[in-house]
Amino acid sequence: MDYEMIVGLEVHAELKTKTKIYCGCKNEFGAEVNTNCCPICTGMPGTLPTLNEKVVEYAIKMGHATNCSINRICKQDRKNYFYPDLPKAYQISQFDIPLCEHGYLDCIVNENGDTKRIGITRIHIEEDAGKLIHDDSFAGSLVDFNRCGVPLIEIVSEPDIRSVVEAKAYLDTIKSILQYIDVSDCKMQEGSIRCDVNVSVHKPGEPFGTRVEMKNVNSFSGACRAIEYEANRQIEILEQGGEITQETRRWDDMKGCNFLLRSKEDAQDYRYFPEPDLLTIVVEQETVDRLKAELPELPNKKIKRYMEEYGLPHFDSNLLVENIATDRFFEQCIALGVCPPKAIANWLLGDVTRILHEKNIEITETSLTPEKLTDMIALITKGTISNTAGKTVLEEIIFSDKLPEDVVQEKGLAQVSDTSVLEEIAKSVLAANAKAVEDYKGGKTNVIGFLVGQCMRQSKGQGNPAVLKEIILKLIAAE
Amino acid sequence: MELYSKTATDLAGMLRQKQCSAVEIANSVFDRMDAVEDRVKAYLTVEKESALAQAARVDEKLAAGEELPPLAGIPVAVKDNICTKGVRTTCASKILENFVPPYNATVVERLKEQDFVMTGKVNLDEFAMGGSCENSAFQKTANPHDLARVPGGSSGGSAAAVAAGEAILSLGSDTGGSIRQPSSFCGLVGLKPTYGAVSRYGLVAFASSLDQIGPLGRSVEDVAMLYRAICGRDPMDATSAALPQAAASWDLEGGVRGLRIGLPWEYFGEGVEEPVKAAVYRAVEELKKAGAEVKEISLGSADYAVSAYYIISSAEASSNLARFDGVKYGYRAPNCEGLTELYERTRSEGFGAEVKRRIMLGTFVLSSGYYDAYYKRAKRLRQRIMGEYEDAFADCDVVITPTAPSTAYKLGERVGDILKMYAGDICTVTVNIAGLPALSVPCGKDENNLPIGMQLIGPKFSEGRLFQTAHTWEKLCGGFNAIPTL
């Protein structure tokens, strides 16, 4: 009952240009209904589109980031269909000559950092449609045209994806690249990135199965659930001796299942033809080259580099790269050469991130600098302060201009390694915890951690835990 | 001579010499309208009040000694498929019967900057589809030269209004001959500019790759004046072009000495009525006497041009007219159950027969499985026609043909005879297909005293040379400007 799944994904990402693709209206989410629209994007008779050239640049950037070849000369086409959210009754898109094509992405698919190459068939530019609003107080539907003409790129993958894990890796990679090259916000909850999913299953060694397309997949986690569900649905049908029919299904994420939207016979004929209102797109080679040169190091490559160069685990690398601001901070810390990457990563992903989450802010909104953080970490490595004291220092320096050394002085956080002082503390702790000492002697050696902890508490965090442990062991042995 | 029967050029001079006021000109035109409009039926919307107010403002500016642009105070009628802010723009269709645009077309904005006086919006074949104005959903416009005959189309209202003295100038649109053929039928000068010379922003699209807005008037100078006011690059229309210097300057008095005229024999074939051919030949003979060289040339694809034209224009129309769905503006069929019924009934009830015919034809030729056989082949033919013209213009400066194979026919005569109606476009469509400029000028009358038109075609952006050639002919024949008695 072994089946292999074949998955292809079409990702639609809204580009974060200032204005819409074919008119001067603002491209922003959340404005009051029907305020970011004009005669052009509402399809008034007689209006004409003019192309926002930034859209072409953003799409080319994504093309470069996904190793595509760029069609410097390409055209736009009309995709004709009727729907109330599409005021012109056609969508301006690209049909046979997309702006970018024949690319690929190397997606990291496991903890070892192994990658899987997934082909990119094409990336083309197009306009978004409006939104239908269903209001119970009104016997019908209302249309919000604010989203009409918001620029989109559609990124179409080859059917190279073989599992939900790979699909997730691919989608995460796409998302982080879009953010890294700064062309899309990728805010799922605002619908700025969506995808259509194509799934088929077959037994290994047999030809590919019939493909089913799923629409209305509005989140990446939803995509994974949708793929899983659809593959199982198909397998079940096949196991019962049934056949898969080529069709389009609608994913319902709330119910966690899909249902038939239209069969192959009802497939729409979009009657594509070249958009006569717009000129052929001609991009200068210099522009293509400049956009390539401007590309930053891409997240999937960066994760691999962190693993290989800094010896960071995949988990850490991934988390670091996920947040562009934190990642930039990390690299600045590394550049200072003061402390080891793993220690920096631990602090950034641990306490720093915790504080940022609590306040719901980005690292750039704090007073923390790479110098301050690495100095603080260096104080710990040198043994000047304990790890616990380090946390206190961080709390102080993250929202003030204070330097780590100042906080250490001010709060008297310097670590005590003086054995005579520590011995007194250890003696009192052992006296107060006779049971634990008994346990230790009885073989429960892990209570040593508890005893060290108690000593640390008594020393107000200033005791050097390594020294304390030695003393405790010596004292117990001497009893 | 009444003010309404004068040319814009004359009136502009009189205004500046204080021989008349703008209000007097406007009143003369509106009085004429009162006298003849019930028989001509050129107007769908008359803007008398705002026109008189605008004329009064022009008079104030003149009184204050302001220097005004050439078209200030000149009454101009606007074809009702060109958007006018706050003024109903119907495209002569039931589906847009009550549509009031929230914006002005670029050409209207440019004329407003010139302080023009808009008399109103004039009739057309529904969505500019047709050649007789009989496809208007609202009224049939009559030819002022013979009220029993059609004014031509689709800019029939634009032509009839100017020919009858109900406007001094007018704006039309030309997708396959819609300015030139009615100009020919009504004895006017009409220009279809080079594709891209005039902004299409605000022209309700019929076939985007063929449509151009252009001027109609009673003299070459008048048409040149209106053209100069509306041409030039518009950032709102990606297909509009920055005009080369030569296209925006001309010397009407330059004559035709050494001008090489090409006569394509395919355009003088058996489909063209004898009196029409004879009149064009006579005019060409006069131009030859005035110093032009005349040679016969060949434009071999003419036979296929009408087919290619109907495929391309209908394909684009089927997409352009899809937005009229009852959702956002215009007619909405009442009491619909659900979306599909709303679409089907709104469009069935809102569009006329000819528009529906073209939407169906266009939908068909773009359908998967038929695209290559029709649309793609038509596009190839388009390339060939362009190439033939390019070759022709290597040997000559201006190509001359009849504008239409016949003079104005009787109202109702060709209704139902679709193919004959379409064949009437034979002389004009290649110009749109190739994106060239062409001017129709009167060149005599037939046995019924109906005007005959001669078409002057030039290479892209050669409007100046066309005006110059036409003006030479205008002087040779003693002038065109004669308003028929009504």
Does residue A300 lie within any of the structural domains? no
A296 located within any domain: no
- Domain check: are A58 and A141 in the same one? yes
Q: Distance between CA A191 and CA A32 in Å, rounded?
A: 16
Grouping H, G, I as helix, E, B as strand and the rest as coil, residue A476 is: helix
DSSP codes joined into one string, B366-391: HSTTTTIIIIIHHHHHHHHHHHHHHH
CB pairs under 8 A between A and B: 101
| Residue A269 with chain B: CB contacts under 8 Å | 367-368
CB spacing of A43 vs B96 below 8 angstroms: no
Instruction: Quote the distance between the C-alpha of residue B86 and its chain's center.
Output: 23
If asked whether residues A164 and A19 sit together in one domain, one would say yes
Do residues A252 and A393 both lie within one domain?
Answer: no
**Cβ B322–A82 below 8 Å, yes or no?**
yes
Catalytic residue, from B93, B132, B136, B154: name it: B154
Helix (H, G, I), strand (E, B) or coil at B320: helix
The complex's ipTM works out to 0.96
A276 and A181 in a single domain? The answer is yes
The answer to whether residues A367 and A450 belong to one domain is no
Q: Chain B partners of A49 at a C-beta cutoff of 8 Å?
A: 238
Chain B CA closest to residue A81: B322
**Is residue B5 annotated as part of the catalytic site, yes or no?**
no
- Annotation says B93 is catalytic: no
B325 closest CB neighbour out of A42, A48, A82 = A82
Residue of A nearest to B315 (CA): A273
Tens of pLDDT along B364-405? 999 999 999 999 999 999 999 999 999 999 999 999 999 999
A424 and A276 fall within a common domain: no
Residue of B nearest to A91 (CA): B319
Q: Please tell me the distance from the alpha carbon of residue B133 to that of residue B182, in angstroms, as a whole number.
A: 9
Domain ranges of chain B: 3-256+405-476
CB contact under 8 A, B325 and A89: yes
Measured CA to CA, the distance from residue A255 to residue A396 in angstroms comes to 48
Nearest-Cα residue of chain A relative to residue B202? A46
B447 DSSP 8-state letter:
T
- For residue A235, what are its two tokens? 């397998």
Give the one of B96, B103, B363 whose C-beta lies nearest to A39's C-beta.
B103
The pTM of this model reads 0.90
Distance from CA of A246 to the nearest CA of B (A): 19
pLDDT at B246: 66
Q: Does B295 touch chain A (CB under 8 A)?
A: no
Interface with chain B: mutation pick from A82, A85, A95, A262, highest number of B CBs within 10 Å? A82
Task: Say yes or no for a CB contact (<8 Å) between B237 and A48.
Answer: yes
How is the beta sheet containing A273-274 ordered, strand by strand? Answer: A90-93, A77-80, A273-274
- Whether residues A58 and A124 fall in one domain: yes
Q: Would the CB atoms of A89 and B236 count as touching at under 8 Å?
A: no
Provide the token pair at B232.
């030039």
CA atoms of B185 and B146, how far apart (whole Å): 10
Position A87 in a domain:
yes
Phi, psi of A443 (to 5 degrees): 110, -10
Q: How far apart are CA A402 and CA A370, in angstroms?
A: 14
- Calculate how close chain A gets to B230, using CA atoms only, in Å: 16
Whether A330 and A270 map to the same domain: the answer is no
Domain B3-256+405-476 has CATH 3.90.1300.10: yes
Domain shared by A346 and A457, yes or no = no
CB contact under 8 A, A88 and B343: no
Say which CATH number the domain at A471 has. 1.10.10.410
| Amino acid at residue number B372 | D
Domains of chain A: total: 3
Helix ranges (H only) for B188-301 are 220-230, 245-248, 274-289
Of the candidates B327, B322, B329, the one whose C-alpha atom is nearest the C-alpha of residue B351 is B322
Q: Which of A113, A64, A110, A13 is nearest to A297 (CA)?
A: A64
Of A43, A49, A273, which is closest to B375 when you measure between CB atoms? A273
In a domain, A123, yes or no: yes
A328 lies in the same domain as A235: no
Q: What six digits make up the tokens of B118?
A: 């808009």
Query: Is any Cβ of chain A less than 8 angstroms from the Cβ of B205?
Result: yes
Question: Does a structural domain hold residue A228?
Answer: yes
The amino acid at B78: V
| Among the listed residues B186, B187, B81, the one whose alpha carbon sits nearest the alpha carbon of residue B124 | B81
| Neighboring chain A residues of B126 at a CB cutoff of 8 Å | none
- A267 shares a domain with A149: yes
Best CA proximity match to B159, nearest among B218, B105, B202, B210 = B218
Query: Is A234 a member of any domain?
Result: yes
Residues A404 and A423 in one domain: no
* B69–chain A nearest CA distance, Å: 27
Q: Does A317 fall in a domain?
A: no
Q: pLDDT tens digits, chain A, 479 residues: what are they?
A: 589 999 999 999 999 999 999 999 999 999 999 999 999 999 999 999 999 999 999 999 999 999 999 999 999 999 999 999 999 999 999 999 999 999 999 999 998 889 999 999 999 999 999 999 987 777 788 999 999 999 999 999 999 999 999 999 999 999 999 999 999 988 888 888 999 999 999 999 999 999 999 998 888 889 999 999 999 999 999 999 999 999 999 999 999 999 999 988 778 899 999 999 999 999 999 999 999 999 999 998 999 999 999 999 999 999 999 888 899 999 999 999 989 999 999 999 999 999 999 998 889 999 999 999 999 999 998 888 888 889 999 999 999 999 999 988 888 777 776 777 888 888 888 888 888 888 888 888 888 889 888 888 888 777 888 888 888 888 888 87
Task: Tell me the residue range of the domain where A285 lies.
Answer: 4-291
Q: Is A212 within 8 Å of A44 (Cβ atoms)?
A: no
Chain A residues closer than 8 Å to B238 by CB: 48-51, 277-279
Determine contact, residues B212/B195, Cβ cutoff 8 Å. Answer: yes
Q: Do B208 and A278 touch (CB under 8 A)?
A: no
